[in-house]
Amino acid sequence: NLLHDHVVIHWLVPDGPGRTRITCDWLFDPAVMAREDFDPMDAVEIFDIVNKQDWEVCQWTQLSMGSRAYKSGGVYVPVEQHIRAFADFVLERVG
């Protein structure tokens, strides 16, 4: 996530068929960090809320990946065409 004063990098690494390890890195400009009023907790707190919501969706998605409906890669809305293209690419390569 690219924001006006920082970047948040999410690393999602599969850790088995039913588990994913998630690491989040917050990167702030050194000039922002040098300010007396610098407090990263606003950024951390909002992302904590959003991330927990996203991860719950990911958990449900991961559980559903074993269903017949997911055999072709899942269902995507029009704004997710790039994600569908990537899923198709992976499915072609790994079968």
| Per-residue model confidence (pLDDT) at position 43 | 86
Domain annotation covers residue 91: no
| Number of domain units in the chain | 1
Residues 6 or more apart in contact with residue 24 via CB below 8 angstroms: 8, 9, 10, 11, 47, 51
What domain range is 38 assigned to?
1-55
Domain annotation covers residue 68: no
Angle at 11 between CA 93 and CA 4, to 5 degrees: 120
The overall pTM is greater than 0.85: no
Domain annotation covers residue 63: no
**Stretch 7-24: mean pLDDT:** 84
Q: What is the pLDDT of residues 22-79, one digit of tens each?
A: 898 999 999 999 999 999 998 889 888 988 888 888 788 777 777 777 776 677 788 8
Domain annotation covers residue 39: yes
Distance, first Cα to last Cα, the chain: 31
47 contacts 8 by C-beta, under 8 angstroms? yes
Domain annotation covers residue 45: yes
29 contacts 4 by C-beta, under 8 angstroms? no
**52 vs 60: CA distance, rounded Å:** 13
State the Rg of the chain over Cα.
17
